[in-house]
Amino acid sequence: MAELIFRKGLGLKDAVAGALTADYHSGLIESIKNADFRHLSGRLTIHLAREFGFCYGVDRAVDYAYQARRKFPEQTVYLTGEIIHNPDVNDRLRALGIRFLSDPGEDPDRVGPGDVVILPAFGVTIAMLEQLQRQGCTLVDTTCGSVLNVWKNVRRYAQDGFTSIIHGKYKHEETRATASQALQFPNGRYLVVLDRAQTRTVCDYIRDGGDREAFRGQFAPAASDGFDPDHDLGRVGLANQTTMLMSESVEIAGMLRQAIADRYGESELPARFRAFETICSATQDRQDAVIELLDRQALDLMIVIGGYNSSNTCNLARICAARLPTYHIAGVDALLSAGAVRHRRVDGVEVVDEGWLPPDRPLAIGITAGASTPNAIVGQVIERLGALANAG
Spell 145-178 as b/e; 16+ CB within 10 A means b. Answer: ebbebbbebbbbbbeeebbbbbbbbbebbbbbbb
Q: Is 266 a catalytic residue?
A: no
Residue 92 CB: number of other CB atoms within 10 A?
A: 18
Collect all residues with Cβ–Cβ distance below 8 Å to 367 and sequence separation of at least 6: 46, 47, 48, 49, 52, 302, 303, 304, 305, 378, 381, 382
Q: What is the Cα–Cα distance from 363 to 367, expressed in whole angstroms?
A: 13
Long-range contacts formed by 335-342: CB under 8 A, 24+ apart:
335/381, 335/384, 335/385, 335/388, 337/388, 338/388, 338/389, 338/391
Q: What is the Cα–Cα distance from 264 to 60, expressed in whole angstroms?
A: 45
Give the HSE-up count for residue 146: Cα atoms under 13 Å, Cβ half-sphere. 24
Q: What is the Cα–Cα distance from 188 to 183, expressed in whole angstroms?
A: 5
Q: What is the Cα–Cα distance from 288 to 115, expressed in whole angstroms?
A: 42
Residue 368 exposed, middle or buried by CB count within 10 Å (0-12, 13-18, 19+)? buried
**Amino acid found at 101:** L
Please tell me which residue in 51, 82, 174, 248 is annotated as part of the active site: 174
Catalogue the active-site residues.
Answer: 174
